[in-house]
Every structure is written in structure tokens, then in C-alpha cells.
Structure 1
Amino acid sequence: MAASPSLRSDLAQKPQRVTALATLPLFWPLNGKQAVVAGGSDAAAWKAELLAACGAEVHVYAPRASLSDVFLDLLARGPAHEHGRLIHHDQAWHVGDFRDAAIAVADCDEQSDAEAFFLAGRSAGVPVNVIDKPAFCAFQFGSIVNRSPVVVAISTDGAAPILAQAIRRRIEALLPPALKHWATVAQAIRDRVNARLKPGSARRAFWERFVDRVFLDAP
């Protein structure tokens, strides 16, 4: 049913709850899921490290001779996440590698290689990002401030990556390193707080006092 003219007029006068977004920010759990990374460059190594830090099982497809020193160091060091894995395949990727993958990333010099990787991933129903080739990306990576489980992501939709990095540095300076531990404490006690305090003013007051301490004290 169409809105009446008076209703449309009232709605037009109200401010938008959400202004236009260049992209939709999402947070994607990858713990225990498979990821594909093609290429042995430093850029591919960073994406592989990032995915493994989320707990993903990362399958890296690149001839060993093409792996950068950064990538070799990452494979020797291993992932930061206890459940993350880095598995190197001494060969180029092929279509069957997308089976069971939740996400795929590639660093391709040639446009034709980027297109082939993107189309193979899309055919398998796997979201793909080809580094520095927006036409072959189903999603983007942003700059990250890591106080996990608190994670802040910044994106300029590719318009000004240097600005995103500057914003990240500002946020890094504002958020104390101990924020990570406070968030872990909150995660650990949440169920007990909810069991003891009913929804409403008492529970809200507790969490407000908790948050006030986050920026003042060690946990």
C-alpha cells in the first residue's frame, strides 16, 4: 500500500536514521573454517597471517621458489591464533581448491589471472578478494585496530588508504592496550552478571561502572 501524501511529507521531514554507506561493515567469524590464499608475495603473506589470526585453516598455493622472505618467516613462525593453521602447497591454485573454502584471497600480477581466480571462486560460491584489483573483489579489507575481542575496522572504500591508516593510528593511541583484557573479563563474567542482575537500571549501572574503569585502571 502506498503511503499517503501527508505521511510521505512527515517522513521526508524526519532525519535519516542511517545516512548512505559506501560499503556495509561486517565482522566475519573464521575460527575453524578453511581459507585459500594464492600467491607468495608480502601482500599475500599479510592476508594469510590475518586469516590465520582469526583461527582459519589457511591453504597457501604458491611454488616455494616464489615465496617472499616475509611469507617464509610466517610459515616458520606459525599463526597467532591457537586454532589457526597455515598449510603450504608447493603449486599454483586450481579450481578444486575452492571446495570447502569459506573465503579466498589472491595476489595476481596479470589481469587474466585475477579474473580467472575471481570467476573460479564465484562459481564455487566463495567470496573472493584479489589484492589491489577492486573489480575482482567481492569484499574489502580495512585497516584494523586489534584489541581482540575488541576489533575496530576502518574503511575509506579505497578512496584514501593513507587516510584510513592515519585514522587507525589515532584510534590506536586512544584505546589502551589493557582494553583487550577488560573485554576478556567482560566476556567471562557476562552470564553471571545477567543471572544476578535483572534487565534494567541495576544491570545497566553495573556495566556503566565497569566501562568507567576500563579507561582508568588495569583489569
Structure 2
Amino acid sequence: MPFDLSAVPPLYLILPGLVILGALVRRVPVLGKVVSVVTWIALLGTLIVVVGERQRFDPYLSRIGRALSLDGQQVVGDEVRIRMAPDGHFWARATLGGVERRMLIDSGATVTALSPATAQAAGLDVREPLVPVLLRTANGTIRAQTATVERFALGNIAARNVEVVVSPGLGETDVIGMNLLSRLKSWRVEGRTLILVPHHPQKSTT
């Protein structure tokens, strides 16, 4: 995740101290101003962390994140531009089966993969394939079920009947693989930005 609340406990610990210190030094103009500026910076940092973790809180915070462009995804002309996250990966905001999810874009993955929770939320018909699907993961080889997403949307990109795999062994992360990327007109990385270009741009829904 771009922001991890557990990784920044000092921020919450120092805020009360800064407020108290500000009250004590308010009679010293210069020192008081310094403490005031530091306090506001700390408050702003807290706001950014909370909004960055918006998916763990309220969906209304997600709208704030979009308005502030904190999620790094924008539609520019016919292109979807996604900034690299602090973790070094590209994360897309996509909608499948009417459900919005934050998905990892992985060109090394052959097929798009969903967690069981996402598949259930999207109302997908998950089934056992006629031929067993075996996937190699960091924890070894796992068996997966399959499903079809009738409509997949990402910015101005729309794809229908996207085949996906579903397995508890894949963890909670949803992944966009090459079977979806290959449907695009082109895709490339420029600096720290991933650029996706569809054949037929649609009205952006995410």
C-alpha cells in the first residue's frame, strides 16, 4: 500500500506534544510560529496518510483522494496515466461487475487474477475448469478456479468477457495480467508513469 498507518506511529504521538508545546511558547513570537508551522505540517501529513488509506475507511474519502489526485490515476486525452506508487508498483483503480477495486498491474502475470472476496463481491460465477489450472506463486504451485468478468473498466478502457482466475492461495491482492493488457492498442512506461492506450476510448467511469 502507498501508505501504512502502522508505519507512522510517531506522527500521532507527537501531535499532542506539539499542541501542548505551542500553548506553552505562544508568548515567544518566533518560537511560537515555528511550532505552529511544524504542527500544521504534521496535521497535513496525517490527512494525507488517512486519505491514502481511504479504502480501509469510508468510500467518501475515496472521492477526496480522487479530487486531490492522490491515487495517481488520470485520463489524459485517449490515455490512462498511472503514476508509480511508493512501493515501486503500478496500481490501477478498476471496476468489475459494478465493484471498484485497487488492482496491481503486473506484466509478468499471464492472466488476470482475483481474490475470492473480490470475485464474490462482483457476483462472478466461479467454476472448476475442465482442465486444472495450476499457478506458480512464491508459496509454491496452487490450483485455481476460473470466472469471466462481463465488463471490466479502467479509466477510459472497457473490456468485455475477461477471463480471470480465482484462488485463496493468491492472497487478497487483485492483479491485472497480460490477457487484459494485450487487448490494448499499446502500453508503455515513461519514467515513473505507466501509459495505457485503448483501441476505442470510452467515457471514463473510474
Q: TM-score, normalised by structure 2?
A: 0.22
Instruction: Judging by fraction of residues, say which structure has more helix.
Output: 1
TM-score normalised per structure 1 = 0.21
| Higher relative contact order structure (alpha carbons within 8 Å, sequence separation ≥ 6) | 2
